Structure 1
């Protein structure tokens, strides 16, 4: 359950974000990764390095206003930071011992979606369905 639930949360995040139309979806996700970058500021346990990390993710978020790639990079940076916090620092949720571990599983799911363009999963499913309806059965692979 320590792995399945975070994957489910990542997929749920992607589905919910898919309900937002572009370009608002990309901009909203830039804001989300900026917030994630600041999540450990109030007590992550790495002192001044927490500010350095937050600055790096804030830069990615700013660039992410116009680029899904930078949003994805921001989520991957956060994944690495989660791993460090799980191993040596304080958990992202103080009363949940494995919360940083869960976040390290969830974040790459979101990052992969962002790095592939942050497309609406519902639009992708609709377009796939409409192509299969148009393509004769004899021509399907």
Structure 2
């Protein structure tokens, strides 16, 4: 359950986000990654180190307004921050001790989706259902 739930949360995040049309989907995700950067500010346990991380993620999110790659980088940075908090700081959700660990599992899935262009499920399904023309057999294409 410790690993399955964060994977389900990531899948739900991707599915719900794929309902948002572009370019709004990319911009929405840039805002989300900026918010994730500030998630530990109210007691993350790493004192002054929380502020420089927020500054870095705000910059990355700003770049993400026009680039899915930057958003993916932001989620990967947040994954690292989750690991640091799991090992040395306070959990992202104070009453759930393993929440930073779960976030560290969820975030790379979201990052992978972003790094592959933040595609929508609708577009992915449409691309899979379009049939490619079947190639002609070699024998038929040869002339005698």
Normalising TM by the smaller chain, what interval?
over 0.9
CA RMSD of aligned residues (A): 1.5
Query: Which of structure 1's runs of 4+ aligned residues deviate more than 3 A?
Result: 134-139
Aligned equivalent of 1:69: 69
Distance 1:109 1:137 in 2: 36
Gaps of 5+ in 2: 138-144
What corresponds to 1:20 in structure 2?
20
Shift of 1:122: 2.1
Mapping of 1:1-141 within 5 angstroms? 1-131=1-131, 134-136=132-134
SS in structure 1 of the partner of residue 130 of structure 2: helix
* CA displacement at 1:9 relative to structure 2: 0.7
Partners of 1:135 and 1:101 lie apart in 2 by: 47
In structure 1, the gaps of 5 or more residues are none
Q: 1:89 to 1:124 in 2, by over 3 A?
A: same
When the two structures are superposed, what TM-score results if normalisation uses the length of structure 2? 0.91
The 3-state SS of whatever aligns with 1:90 is coil
SS in 1 for 2:47: coil
Question: How far does residue 136 in structure 1 lie from its aligned partner after superposition?
Answer: 4.4
Distance 1:74 1:61 in 2: 7
Deviations 1:2-38 (A, max 9, x none): 0011011101101100000000000000000000000
Summarize the Cα distance change of 1:96–1:137 in structure 2 as closer, same or farther, 3 Å threshold. Answer: farther
Distance apart, 1:121 and its partner CA: 2.1
CA shift for structure 1 position 129: 1.1
TM-score relative to the length of structure 1:
0.93
Cα separation, 2, equivalents of 1:113 and 1:35: 18
- Tell me how far 1:137 sits from its aligned partner: 9.7
With over 3 angstroms needed to count, the CA separation of the structure-2 counterparts of 1:138 and 1:14, relative to structure 1, is farther
Structure with bigger gyration radius: 2
